[in-house]
């Protein structure tokens, strides 16, 4: 029976899960993949610490020991970060090694370059785990939905923030306590800023948009806004309006260009995305032939992410068996413009404090009206020290017009403060 040797770079949450899953499936790999799969080496920083998770004889702290071992055919990069992961992957591809990675930071930044290196060397470079953890989404976009003109990819693609918003909303937990639990469970990135400020989701949107629309979208093209300013009050008002607050990643291919953005959004509580809770993720896709499709599952964590990594590995081993590696590479054959956030359209929820006296609401309404912003709903309550808390929801408006109106409002003496601005689906 043939044997394929692999190396794992990093033995943290995902690396540990990959090692466990390969052990669990070891005896069935010949039937599933067409060859036995053997973990030959694992790159770690601290071998003593890592020995708790894997056989000590497999551990090395020296990358050269892996790259110079020609019996190793596949490298699984699950250490994260831009460097040295980027250099290791490039070196591996140039040496004819196939690569699996879960590293969205790197792929959103240098995906085009790495895919080009894979093509030049006839290698597979697969990264299903980089978006939405255990949910199959990249391969469906590249293969099963390849006949479609995809126009929309939208959803909840960060497990940590969805977990935090669920705990704040359903259990009244404070933001920092919910974040600490998400970290304990292995959902959050080493630096949770990337999760909380929408950067992690932004990287996933860049990867999905590039694949769905066949045009490279970099991380710097994605507008990102996180959840750190969402308060319990916003969640309470959203509920009054029949909505939940979710951090959404949105990629749309419009006639004026691609929209790629991440921000919190009020969504109706009856919307299917509102029922996506905890660390679960869900992605909606709209294509001209398939119509609507939704992908749902665990978007983060040890074993769900390992599921995606090991799926990629099995695909590579099958491709090696059939002599067809490098078959699914970069699909970006278009060069579409990416729209500026000011040119996108949305409805908006605004929570502000304004002086509670005759004519104030009328002056707010006239500023909105003069800038082409129409008000759809208004709630006023909680008057304190002469200031009332007012919640407004607008009709759909171009973001630049909305911002012009907000700039004028901010300068008005009757406005004490504008506490929240959240888009509404």
- Which residues form the interface with ligand HSE (CB under 6 A)? 133, 158-160, 187-189, 195, 200, 299-300
Tell me how crowded residue 396 is: count the other CB atoms within 10 A of its CB: 13
Instruction: Using alpha carbons, list the distances in angstroms from residue 27 to 23, 72, 315, 320, 344.
Output: 8, 20, 17, 19, 52
Nearest to ligand NAP by Cβ — which residue?
12
Residues 6-35 that bind ligand NAP (CB under 6 A): 10-15
Residues 114-133 that bind ligand NAP (CB under 6 A): 129, 133
Which of 72, 98, 103, 351 lies at the binding interface for ligand NAP (CB under 6 A)? Answer: 103
Tell me how crowded residue 97 is: count the other CB atoms within 10 A of its CB: 24
**Residue 43 near ligand NAP by CB under 6 A:** yes
Q: Which is nearer to ligand NAP, 305 or 394 (CB)?
A: 305
**Minimal distance in Å, beta carbon 131 to ligand HSE?**
8
**Residue 257 near ligand NAP by CB under 6 A:** no
Binding region for ligand NAP (CB under 6 A) out of 39-47, 233-241, 286-294, 390-398: 39-47
Q: Which is nearer to ligand HSE, 159 or 311 (CB)?
A: 159
Q: Are 405 and 373 in contact (CB under 8 A)?
A: yes
Binding region for ligand NAP (CB under 6 A) out of 216-224, 246-254, 299-307, 381-389: 299-307
Q: Which is nearer to ligand HSE, 195 or 244 (CB)?
A: 195
Q: Which residue pairs from 285-288 have beta carbons closer than 8 angstroms and sit at least 24 positions apart in sequence?
A: 285/140, 285/141, 285/145, 285/150, 285/152, 285/153, 285/212, 286/150, 286/151, 286/152, 286/153, 287/145, 287/148, 287/149, 287/150, 287/151, 288/148, 288/149, 288/151
160 binds, among ligand NAP, ligand HSE, none (CB under 5 to 8 A by kind): ligand HSE
Residues 170-209 that bind ligand NAP (CB under 6 A): 186-187, 189-190
Residues 133-172 that bind ligand NAP (CB under 6 A): 133
DSSP state of 326: T
> Which two tokens mark 35?
């060859």
Q: Which residues contact 218 (CB under 8 A, 6 or more apart)?
A: 108, 109, 206
Taking only Cα atoms into account, the Rg of the chain, rounded to an integer number of angstroms, comes to 24
Q: Longest Cα pair distance anywhere in the chain, in angstroms?
A: 85
- By CB under 6 A, name the binding residues for ligand NAP: 10-15, 43-46, 78-80, 84, 102-104, 129, 133, 186-187, 189-190, 300-301, 305
């Amino acid at each position: 029976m043939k044997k394929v040797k692999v190396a794992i770079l990093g033995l943290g949450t995902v690396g540990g899960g990959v090692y466990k899953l390969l052990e669990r499936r070891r005896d069935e790999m010949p039937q599933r993949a067409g060859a036995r799969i053997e973990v030959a080496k694992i790159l770690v920083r601290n071998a003593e610490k890592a020995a708790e998770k894997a056989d000590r004889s497999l551990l090395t702290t020296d990358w050269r020991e892996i790259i110079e071992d020609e019996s190793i055919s596949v490298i699984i990069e699950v250490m994260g970060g831009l460097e040295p992961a980027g250099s290791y992957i490039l070196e591996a591809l140039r040496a004819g090694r196939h690569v699996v990675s879960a590293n969205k930071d790197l792929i959103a930044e240098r995906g085009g370059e790495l895919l080009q290196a894979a093509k030049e060397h006839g290698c597979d470079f697969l990264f299903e785990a980089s978006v939405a953890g255990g949910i199959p989404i990249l391969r469906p976009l590249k293969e099963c939905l390849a006949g479609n003109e995809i126009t929309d990819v939208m959803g909840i693609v960060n497990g940590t923030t969805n977990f935090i918003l669920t705990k704040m909303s359903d259990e009244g937990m404070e933001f920092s306590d919910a974040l600490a639990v998400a970290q304990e469970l292995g959902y959050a990135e080493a630096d949770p800023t990337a999760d909380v400020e929408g950067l992690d989701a932004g990287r996933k949107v860049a990867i999905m948009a590039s694949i769905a629309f066949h045009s490279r979208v970099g991380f710097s093209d994605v507008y990102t806004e996180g959840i750190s300013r969402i308060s319990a009050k916003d969640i309470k008002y959203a509920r009054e309006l029949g909505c939940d607050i979710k951090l959404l990643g949105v990629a749309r291919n419009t006639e004026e260009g691609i929209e790629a953005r991440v921000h919190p959004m009020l969504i109706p509580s009856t919307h299917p995305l509102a029922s996506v809770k905890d660390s679960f993720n869900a992605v909606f896709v709209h294509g001209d032939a398939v119509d609507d499709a939704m992908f749902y599952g665990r978007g983060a964590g040890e074993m769900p992410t390992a599921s995606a990594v090991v799926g990629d590995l099995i695909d590579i081993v099958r491709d090696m068996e059939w002599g067809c590696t490098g078959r699914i590479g970069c699909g970006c054959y278009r060069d579409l413009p990416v729209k500026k956030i000011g040119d996108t359209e949305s409805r908006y929820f605004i929570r502000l404090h304004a002086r509670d006296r005759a004519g104030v609401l009328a002056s707010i309404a006239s500023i909105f009206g003069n800038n082409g912003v129409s008000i759809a709903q208004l709630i006023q309550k909680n008057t304190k020290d002469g200031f009332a808390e007012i919640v407004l929801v607008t009709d759909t408006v171009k973001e630049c017009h909305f911002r012009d109106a907000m700039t004028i409002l901010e300068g008005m003496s009757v406005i004490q403060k504008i506490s929240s601005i959240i888009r509404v689906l």
